[in-house]
């Protein structure tokens, strides 16, 4: 009798599990690849699989939330357009098609008067950032995905608190998941000094989707920072697990800073019901520089109509005639980017891709190897960075244009996270980025045909399994 009851219970629970699986197909409207990946988990890990899906995959009320955010953003864009900041409406024939694409998909205008400094090491970036913060007169707007409760995190907060006590407007926006459990005491000095802190889409429980992965800092409307460095000791290379930290970040003086500030205001006003920023010329001062670097700021997220950064990557690859260099910690491309890279390489274009040799997410690493293995067959040169951890999100084409920012070459960045990139058209700046990439090759090992096909059967099984769930990673 007990055995029959247990069998009946299992059958009932299995039917319930199947019902959940059908619910995923009918109501969540994901892409077919993502849907099948989740179905595999739900069906082959009964009961527990649905709990995993509910925590990591279920979108809930995302569409309503994102429609609301999109409406708020449109209102801010309309207010901004009324300021008539004519110096920002520069036009150029330079890379005309890609400029038009970025404008159409992301409201990104081409600015032509930018002064750019490039950082590959965290110490240089944070030394300059702290110096600029200390010199702030009017406001500091800062947005980060991660702020650690460590030496660097506390130092930054204390400096911001000091500026807030000097009547400088300080606003700090953090991602709602990664910062959910930050001890309140690390933020207390800033808040008690008059600074404002908000969390972007703070979930009621742990949820990895739809995170704000942007890293932005705007100071007095004159200086902007964008790139891969978060705030924490590992980004200074001080954590043994990661060792030397290679990344890419840029400091901007010029009209591109206005796009960074505009994006910050959009995200801040959505997250802050009580301390909204008024869109006024105070936050968008006129900027005069002696440099003429051309640049666009492109942002994307699940709240936007177009996958702007995905389109940017596809367009850059399609425009290449000589070379494509990609540096990314996570390489899980969608089908469109994957095929474009394969076609480019088979067409004789020099395609090179660099990932970390010592990954922080093993499932992502094994999935990446499955894609890289196929690209190696197409004569793509693939490298593992051995010196430490490479975190740069970098795409360089023909030595003429380069994308630097927060978006990895993976489905999570292109479809699920809120991201922001800077597209640089200045060949002198692009040469600096390309030279560093070439230098990094000397600290890397090549993953060639012999290496890949020499991997063990166990490794190939890991690749295959991780490839199946790669749309979820």
- Terminal alpha carbon distance of the chain: 44
- What's the confidence (pLDDT) of residue 316? 97
Most confident range (mean pLDDT) of 64-78, 82-96, 105-119 is 105-119
* Lookup: tokens for 206: 């742990």
- What's the confidence (pLDDT) of residue 10? 64
Q: Which of 138, 203, 142 is nearest to 166 (CA)?
A: 138
The CATH code for residues 308-472 is 3.30.870.10
Lowest mean pLDDT among 52-56, 124-128, 371-375, 433-437: 52-56
Which one-letter DSSP state was computed for residue 357? Answer: S
pLDDT in tens, 271-321: 998 999 999 999 999 988 888 899 999 999 988 889 999 999 999 999 999
Q: Which of 147, 58, 173 is nearest to 420 (CA)?
A: 173
Sequence-separated (6 or more) residues with CB below 8 Å from residue 42: 17, 20, 21, 24, 49, 50, 53
Coil, strand or helix at 471:
helix
Task: Average the pLDDT over 119-124 and give the result.
Answer: 97
pLDDT in tens, 241-277: 899 999 999 999 999 999 999 999 999 999 998 999 9
Q: Are 422 and 295 in contact (CB under 8 A)?
A: yes
Which fold does the domain 65-91+116-292 belong to in CATH? Answer: Endonuclease; Chain A (3.30.870)
Residue 117: HSE in the Cβ half-sphere, 13 Å Cα cutoff? 13
Lowest mean pLDDT among 72-81, 146-155, 399-408, 418-427: 72-81
pLDDT in tens, 175-217: 988 877 787 789 999 999 999 999 998 765 555 678 899 999 9
Sequence-separated (6 or more) residues with CB below 8 Å from residue 420: 214, 215, 216, 226, 260, 263, 297, 298, 299, 300, 405, 406, 407
Distance CA 220, CA 238 (A): 31
pTM > 0.85: yes or no: yes
- What's the confidence (pLDDT) of residue 89? 46
Q: What are the residue numbers of the active site?
A: 213, 215, 220, 391, 393, 398
Check whether 443 has a pLDDT greater than 60: yes
24-54 core/surface letters (b: 16 or more CB in 10 A; e: else): beeebebeeebbebbbebbeeebeebbeebe
Question: Which secondary structure element, helix H or strand E, spans residue 249, and what is its range?
Answer: strand 249-253
- What's the confidence (pLDDT) of residue 16? 66
Q: Are 258 and 85 in contact (CB under 8 A)?
A: yes
Check whether 240 has a pLDDT greater than 80: yes
Q: Which of 273, 130, 280, 298 is nearest to 214 (CA)?
A: 298
- Strands of 131-181, DSSP E: 139-144, 169-175
Residue 460 pLDDT class (50, 70, 90 cuts)? confident
Lowest mean pLDDT among 178-182, 313-317, 341-345, 393-397: 178-182
Q: Which of 298, 313, 303 is nearest to 106 (CA)?
A: 298
Q: Are 278 and 139 in contact (CB under 8 A)?
A: no
Distance CA 307, CA 309 (A): 6
Averaged pLDDT score across all residues of the chain: 87
Check whether 90 has a pLDDT greater than 50: no
Q: Are 294 and 429 in contact (CB under 8 A)?
A: no
What are the backbone dihedrals phi and psi of residue 135, each rounded to the nearest 5 degrees, phi first? -90, 0
* Lookup: tokens for 315: 């367009």
């Amino acid at each position: 009798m007990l055995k029959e009851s247990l069998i009946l219970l299992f059958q009932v629970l299995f039917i319930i599990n199947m019902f959940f699986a059908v619910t995923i197909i009918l109501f969540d409207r994901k892409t077919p690849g993502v849907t099948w990946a989740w179905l595999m988990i739900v069906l082959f890990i009964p009961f527990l699989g649905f709990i995993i899906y509910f925590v990591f995959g279920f979108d809930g009320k995302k569409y309503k939330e994102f429609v609301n955010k999109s409406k708020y953003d449109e209102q801010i864009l309309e207010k901004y357009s009324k300021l008539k900041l004519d110096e920002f409406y520069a036009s150029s024939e330079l890379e005309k098609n890609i400029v038009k694409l970025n404008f159409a998909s992301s409201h990104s205008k081409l600015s032509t008067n930018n002064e750019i400094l490039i950082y590959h090491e965290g110490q240089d970036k944070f030394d300059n950032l702290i110096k600029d913060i200390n010199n702030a007169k009017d406001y500091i707007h800062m947005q980060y995905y991660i702020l650690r409760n460590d030496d660097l995190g506390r130092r930054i907060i204390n400096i911001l608190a000091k500026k807030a006590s000097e009547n400088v407007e300080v606003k700090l926006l953090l991602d709602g998941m990664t910062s959910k459990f930050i001890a309140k005491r690390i933020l207390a000095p800033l808040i008690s000094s008059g600074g404002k802190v908000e969390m972007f889409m703070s979930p009621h429980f742990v949820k990895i989707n739809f995170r704000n992965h942007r890293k932005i800092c705007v100071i007095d409307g004159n200086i902007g920072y964008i790139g891969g460095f978060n705030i924490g000791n590992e980004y200074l290379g001080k954590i043994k697990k990661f060792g030397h930290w290679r990344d890419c970040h840029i400091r901007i003086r010029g009209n591109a800073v206005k796009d960074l500030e505009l994006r910050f205001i959009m995200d801040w006003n959505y997250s802050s019901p009580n301390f909204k920023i008024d869109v006024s010329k105070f936050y968008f001062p006129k900027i005069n520089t002696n440099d003429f670097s051309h640049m666009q700021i492109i942002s994307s997220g699940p709240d936007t109509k177009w996958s702007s950064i995905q389109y940017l990557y596809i367009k850059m690859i399609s425009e290449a005639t000589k070379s494509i260099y990609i540096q990314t910690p996570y390489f899980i491309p969608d089908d469109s980017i994957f095929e474009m890279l394969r076609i480019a390489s088979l067409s004789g274009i020099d395609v090179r891709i660099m990932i970390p040799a010592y990954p922080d997410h093993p499932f992502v690493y094994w999935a990446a190897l499955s894609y890289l293995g196929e690209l190696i067959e197409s004569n793509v040169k693939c490298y593992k960075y051995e010196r430490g951890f490479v975190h740069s999100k970098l795409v360089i084409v023909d030595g003429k244009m380069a994308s630097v920012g927060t978006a990895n070459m993976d489905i999570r960045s292109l479809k699920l996270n809120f991201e922001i990139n800077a597209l640089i058209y200045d060949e002198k700046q692009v040469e600096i980025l390309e030279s560093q990439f070439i230098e990094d090759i000397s600290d890397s090992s090549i993953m060639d045909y012999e290496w890949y096909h020499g991997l063990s059967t166990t490794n190939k099984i890991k690749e295959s399994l991780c490839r199946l769930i790669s749309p979820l990673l």
